[in-house]
């Protein structure tokens, strides 16, 4: 899926979940924000996590703000599916939950109560 300010790339063999990614992006970051969403597997997730965070293991999501109006999010689809029961969520719901989490980081937020409150607001808005 692609439009002028949003692209989705699937680098896995998995079918992508049916989630309103573009709408969420527009509501949280604005229509002018340019976002690339990439679905990757464990290997690429681990490479990125090791390179940018010094953690040599796969992770479920990584967010990279490139500037104030451009960013990238990488979601490890297989790990998200595997982890979803731990968070008492269905896989599609957990991917949407992760996406909102990544959007918060692109807004410049850090983990904490303020970020939690804003995440909860958007989760409620989108039925997540």
- Tens of pLDDT along 32-44? 999 999 999 999 9
Q: Is the distance from CB of 44 to CB of 62 less than 8 angstroms? A: no
Q: How many domains does the chain have?
A: 1
- Tens of pLDDT along 83-125? 999 999 999 999 999 999 999 999 998 899 999 999 999 999 9
Q: Could you identify the residue written with the tokens 């790990």?
A: 79
Q: Which domain holds residue 60?
A: 2-125
Query: Is it the case that residue 1 has pLDDT exceeding 90?
Result: no
The CATH number of whichever domain residue 56 belongs to comes to 3.40.390.30
Is residue 21 packed enough to be buried (19+ CB in 10 Å), middle (13-18) or exposed (0-12)?
buried
- Tens of pLDDT along 74-86? 999 999 999 999 9
Q: What is the pLDDT of residue 70?
A: 96
């Amino acid at each position: 899926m692609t439009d002028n300010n949003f692209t989705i790339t699937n680098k896995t063999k998995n079918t992508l979940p049916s989630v309103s990614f573009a709408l969420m992006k527009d509501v949280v970051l604005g229509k002018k924000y340019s976002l690339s969403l990439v679905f990757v597997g464990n290997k690429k997730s681990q490479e990125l996590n090791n390179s940018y965070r010094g953690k040599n293991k796969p992770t479920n999501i990584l967010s990279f703000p490139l500037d104030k109006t451009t960013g990238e999010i990488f979601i490890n689809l297989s790990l998200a599916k595997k982890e979803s029961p731990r968070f008492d969520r269905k896989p599609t719901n957990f991917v949407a939950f992760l996406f909102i989490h990544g959007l918060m980081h692109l807004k410049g937020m850090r983990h904490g109560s303020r970020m939690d409150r804003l995440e909860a607001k958007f989760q409620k808005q989108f039925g997540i």
